[in-house]
Amino acid sequence: MLDIVLFRSGPAVCGIEARHVGTSRLCVAGDEAPATIESVLGLAPVRPRAPVRLALRAAGGMREVLADGPLELLRVEVTDIVPLPPLIEAMKRSTTLKGLAVAGDRVLALFGPADGGAGF
């Protein structure tokens, strides 16, 4: 089993392995806005509808980003995770997009550190 933290990026449901996530909290008025999760993951920008601050593991510690909530913790069977199809792998614009998972009736885009380990 693998624990995945789910978040939204526009209409897409995305996930990051929970071991790469530290904390989360709701954004409050007056907060200085950190980078968006889309800018960190190399995705097209979207306007968050329900922004939360999400701390991701980075090479030098933790890095806060804005993500679109609500967040959800999902336990996924390793057998439900598949590599990207060759055409998507060849055309992907994000070095952090690692694979797909099927969880019930949802298909999730799974992201991980671009370098394969140190962090986002």
pLDDT in tens, 47-87: 767 789 999 998 888 999 999 888 999 999 999 999 999 99
Question: How remote is the C-alpha of 38 from its chain's centroid?
Answer: 8
pLDDT of residue 116: 62
Identify whether the C-beta of residue 67 lies closer than 8 Å to the C-beta of residue 48.
yes
pLDDT in tens, 84-110: 999 999 998 888 999 999 988 889 999
Sign of CA dihedral 75, 92, 38, 8: negative
pLDDT-derived band at 28, boundaries 50, 70, 90:
confident
Kindly report the pTM of this predicted structure: 0.86
- Give the other-Cβ count within 10 Å of 113's Cβ: 19
Q: What is the mean pLDDT of residues 24-48?
A: 84
pLDDT in tens, 42-53: 998 887 677 899
